[in-house]
Amino acid sequence: MHIRLKVIVSIFALGALLASCNKKTDDPDPNAPKKVEDLIIPANFNFETTTSVDLSISDYQDGATYQVYSLKDSGPNEIVYTETDTLVVIDDLNQLVAQGMVSNGSYHTVLTLPSYHNYLYLLRGKDGIFHGESVSITGSEVQYNFDGSGLKAFALADDQLYAINGSNTEVNQIDLGTGAVTQIGSLPFKSIANACDKVNNRMYVANKTNPFQLGHYDLATGVTTTVGNFPFNFPRMDYNPDDGLLYLSKGNKLYKADPANAQIIQTYTITGLTAASYCDLAFTPSGDMYIGDKNELYATQFSGNTVIATKISDPSLPNNLTCLAAGSNGKLYTTQVNANNRIIEFDPTDATWVYYPINASIKINDFGIIRAIEPSTGDVDGDGVPDEQDDYPADPERAFNNYFPGEGLWAALAFEDLWPARGDYDFNDLVIHYNINQVTNASNMVVEIKANFDAKHNGASFINGFAFQLPVDASTVASASGYNMTGSSVSLESNGLISNLSKAAVLVFDQTDPNLGNPLLIEVLFNNPQDPTALGNPPYNPYIIVDEQINHEVHLPDAVPTTLANMALFGTVDDNSDPNSGRYYKSVNNMPWAINIVYDFVWLKESHQITQGYLKFADWAESGGTLYPDWYKDLPDYRDNSHLDIQ
């Protein structure tokens, strides 16, 4: 807000001044959103958009790794069919939220999830064999037991391509050593997409027509087992042996899917494709993904929920490509629908290619590969986590990234800074986006915190700072770095923490304006690895330091202030805190001075109340979080953009 108030004005005079600025309307619009001051909010509601879930996994094998995904539903939220395409709608906060390894028969962690999410997807991996399962969230605790039932490994096959086409049901085996083509069986349906799983000695196939079944064809017996239905057909698919999931693609979208039941668990947008149609995708033995469109081949890089495609072929490569596989020799194999007794061998290092002869003229829409030589699962740093599952394969002290709200995603904190006076409830005095990564070791203990903060908007006239406090002793922190201190209002210890506090408080910046548009990476390194349950949930205990007064703090509702805070301010003017009962930073009608939004928040225009821009906020608050827990999203009838400061 833009009313500059001097510190010397007494708290009570401040309240009187604000009251005198309120204007009454004679005939209020009956259809207008409720005013914040008129909301009736349950006293125990803390305005959280997230929920905390304690996950305990029991597993019969030490060394098994788990990836934990947060899901809104067990399947797509909606499938939209058009004349030209099929759109699969899954929640954009479906994300990988935690990773860890089983030790002494268990893996335990605490998850911070969007409050409207109802499922966890648990992806287990051990020795190249994967198992995925959806588990419903029915309370604050989820317990899961895995006893190994149904797991088995198959004998390894020779290096072969397994080809299918959409005009018949034949399965053809192509020997890359001799060029021999052998029909080895047939499918129960026609398919244009397949992928091979060497460990389980099977080929996954997808029916090209409705109901788009997913099946796996046993390469030893020739039997196809149908396991589920996809919501659409697609030309690109491969199996990733690093995580045991199918990756399928259509147009400029990429999807992760569970090969056990065809459940889509995450979606990506692909950038850089020239003609986003046809061809295929393929994973190399080292885990790199290549993708093709109608006429080009591309290397890819994952960045959050985006896949960046970079062209690696030149115009000499033949057109109308239909498939892609990565050989054990580092070469890529592709072809055209009518193979004409040959396939194409492509070298991704220099874009050279040659025709590779085969001894039969067959139609090919796709082929998968069983490689004769696979790199052994290594553990370079010796921490017990296989390199393929280790985010830090050369660092024995680090193993897993655990992002909140998800890799490449941002959550937001929005503050009012006139506390203990009410303010105007536009929540734009400071809007700061954040992404927090808790880096854990092979024992699932937190080694360091990497917190990215991006100050997006400063609607205050005060000079405000921003910090967060961890619920651990300051002596546990070896160093805190990355902060930007431009003034002299905050004193720091030699390890970078805020001085004179027994619990670790980390400064991000002491003045907002110099940091607008300048993201900061705060790194907190611990002397000894910390139990993640002791650290609490990101973003921990964030707060603003008002007008360079180190003892004037504004926290999230019911968050305990630091011991530097001026306790005389509580319960004055419009604040209705009661520290003796653990009630902090709430007004008489239980409104807060700060909110944490698990989303990329669009802030309000100056003096426009949050209920005006976010039309479901009032219902959410008055219901104690039961109604519209996703009130902050850009869904139909959720927002009035005329009140939002859309950039």
**Owner of token pair 């006429």:** 295
Q: In angstroms, how far is CA 415 from the centroid of its own chain? A: 25
Residues found in the chain: 647
In DSSP notation, 152-198 reads ---PPPPSEEEEE-TTS-EEEEEETTT--EEEEEE-SS-EEEEEEET
Q: Quick one: pLDDT at residue 156?
A: 35
Could you count the other beta carbons within 10 Å of the beta carbon of residue 401?
A: 16
Q: Quick one: pLDDT at residue 27?
A: 55
**Owner of token pair 């005389």:** 568
**Which residues are paired to 178 by β-bridges?**
none
- The residue ranges of every structural domain in the chain are 160-370, 608-647
Q: Quick one: pLDDT at residue 376?
A: 57
- Give CA–CA dist 195/25, Å, rounded: 66
- Give CA–CA dist 522/506, Å, rounded: 9
**Owner of token pair 């911070």:** 112
For residue 579, give both structure tokens: 């520290």
Residues in the chain with pLDDT < 50?
2-25, 153-157
Among the listed residues 597, 603, 588, 631, the one whose alpha carbon sits nearest the alpha carbon of residue 39:
588
Instruction: Kindly list the distances between the CA atom of residue 231 and the CA atoms of 81, 118, 119, in Å, as whole numbers in the listed order.
Output: 9, 21, 20
**Owner of token pair 């980390």:** 506
Q: The CATH number of 160-370 is which of 3.40.50.2300, 2.120.10.30, 2.160.10.10, 1.10.569.10?
A: 2.120.10.30
- Give CA–CA dist 24/22, Å, rounded: 7
Q: Quick one: pLDDT at residue 377?
A: 64
- Give CA–CA dist 467/461, Å, rounded: 19
Q: Quick one: pLDDT at residue 12?
A: 38
Q: Quick one: pLDDT at residue 24?
A: 44
Q: Quick one: pLDDT at residue 14?
A: 39
Please count the CA atoms within 13 angstroms of the CA of 270 that sit on its side-chain side. 28
Q: CA-based diameter of the chain, in Å? A: 92
Kindly report each contact of residues 392-399 with a partner whose C-beta sits within 8 Å and lies 24 or more positions away, as own/partner.
392/439, 397/441, 397/447, 398/439, 398/440, 398/441, 398/447, 398/448, 399/99, 399/101, 399/440, 399/441, 399/442
How is the beta sheet containing 141-146 ordered, strand by strand?
106-114, 50-59, 141-146
The beta-strand segments (E) located in 273-334 are 281-283, 289-292, 297-303, 306-311, 325-326, 332-334
* Number of DSSP helices (H) and strands (E) in the chain, helices first: 4, 40
Q: Quick one: pLDDT at residue 177?
A: 84
Q: Quick one: pLDDT at residue 176?
A: 87
**Which residues are paired to 236 by β-bridges?**
249
Inter-residue contact 626 to 116 (CB < 8 Å) = no
How is the beta sheet containing 191-197 ordered, strand by strand?
191-197, 202-207, 213-218, 224-229
- Give CA–CA dist 58/216, Å, rounded: 29
Inter-residue contact 558 to 591 (CB < 8 Å) = no
For residue 156, give both structure tokens: 């390894």
Inter-residue contact 367 to 164 (CB < 8 Å) = yes
- Give CA–CA dist 72/51, Å, rounded: 13
Inter-residue contact 523 to 505 (CB < 8 Å) = no
The beta-strand segments (E) located in 315-463 are 325-326, 332-334, 342-346, 353-357, 366-370, 403-404, 411-415, 430-440, 446-457
**Owner of token pair 């536009």:** 426
- Give CA–CA dist 424/18, Å, rounded: 9
Per-residue pLDDT tens digits for 361-407: 888 999 999 987 665 568 999 999 988 889 999 999 999 999 999 99
Q: Classify strands 141-146 and 50-59 as parallel, antiparallel or unpaired.
A: parallel
- Give CA–CA dist 380/394, Å, rounded: 6
For residue 286, give both structure tokens: 């080292």
Among the listed residues 509, 464, 461, the one whose alpha carbon sits nearest the alpha carbon of residue 607:
461
- Give CA–CA dist 159/180, Å, rounded: 12
- Give CA–CA dist 563/21, Å, rounded: 34
Q: Quick one: pLDDT at residue 157?
A: 38
**Which residues are paired to 218 by β-bridges?**
202
